[in-house]
Amino acid sequence: MNSDQQFWWNWWVNLIVAVSTFLAVLVALFGERLRVRIFPPLLKLKLVRQEGEKTRLTTSVPGESGYTTEYVDDARFYHLRVSNERRWSPATSVRVYLTRLEEPGPSEALQLVWVGNVPIRWRDQEVVPLLQTIGAAADCDLCRVERRGGLFLMPLIVPNSLEAHRTGKCKLVVTLQARSTEADSEVLRVGIYWDGRWEDGDAEMKKHLVIDEIPSPPLKE
């Protein structure tokens, strides 16, 4: 190899090293931003099981010395699932928000009775973070129905303007959305229709409490 060839060989090697170093710096500084911009998370929100999940609910009530567990009742919880179709592009600081509540008016047509922006509980909220990172799916609590206590929507906080508890027959349509720092899910509307009765079995309870995803605009009954 003569001196000219050696020069150009060294020049190309140095150029490749410089370009590689430059690209490595770019990836380190802007790689995450580029990934989020080009391949943002794809959040999906859906109902988990129409029959819900039966359990025993234990409630602590005040006693003479501290808090004493006194109230145990059968309950059935209904959950939503937040998933990410691009698990390799995680969504951070995820919460699911309740944004609207509709109920039938005198003519049975749906009327908007509440508009807001309150997060709902994650499943097992007492032991999981308020803000989730969604690569793998996570579940949250939509509502529960108790044998003796009625039906409860399950926001983290209940604004004074939101009636979250029903003690008997009711028809509700709730609107929800999963939101993260990088992207939001599509809006989900869920119909909750209860005749006020309780049954122990899954199939039997589905005859009394129907929960289902509904399209927008709502279907006429």
For the residues of 38-80, what is the DSSP string, one character each?
HS---EEEEES-TT-EEEEEEEEEE-SSSEEEEEEEEEEEEEE
Tokens 């509980």, residue? 121
Of 62-71, 163-172, 174-183, minimum mean pLDDT range: 62-71
Of 20-24, 40-44, 55-59, 183-187, minimum mean pLDDT range: 20-24
Res 60: pLDDT: 67
Mean pLDDT over each residue of the chain, to the nearest integer? 86
Q: Report the Cα–Cα distance between both ends of the chain, in Å, rounded.
A: 86
Q: For residues 211 and 168, give the distance between their C-alpha atoms in angstroms, rounded to a whole number.
A: 16
Mean pLDDT of 16-27: 64
Kindly tell me if the per-residue pLDDT of 221 is higher than 50. Answer: no
Percent of the chain whose predicted confidence (pLDDT) is above 90: 64
Q: For residues 98 and 172, give the distance between their C-alpha atoms in angstroms, rounded to a whole number.
A: 13
Residues in the chain: 221
For 25, 29, 42, 64, 133, the CA distances from 35, given in Å and listed in that order, are: 15, 12, 13, 57, 16
Of 71-80, 159-168, 192-201, minimum mean pLDDT range: 71-80
Helix (H, G, I), strand (E, B) or coil at 106: coil
- Residue 122, number of CB atoms within 10 A of its CB: 23
- Predicted TM-score (pTM) of the model is 0.78
Contact assessment for residue 67 and residue 87, using Cβ atoms and an 8 Å cutoff: no
pLDDT digits (tens, 9 = 90+) for 92-113: 999 999 999 999 988 888 999 9
Contact assessment for residue 59 and residue 147, using Cβ atoms and an 8 Å cutoff: no
Backbone φ and ψ for 211, nearest 5 degrees, come out as: -125, 125
pLDDT digits (tens, 9 = 90+) for 30-89: 555 555 556 789 999 999 999 999 998 877 666 666 656 566 789 999 999 999 999 999
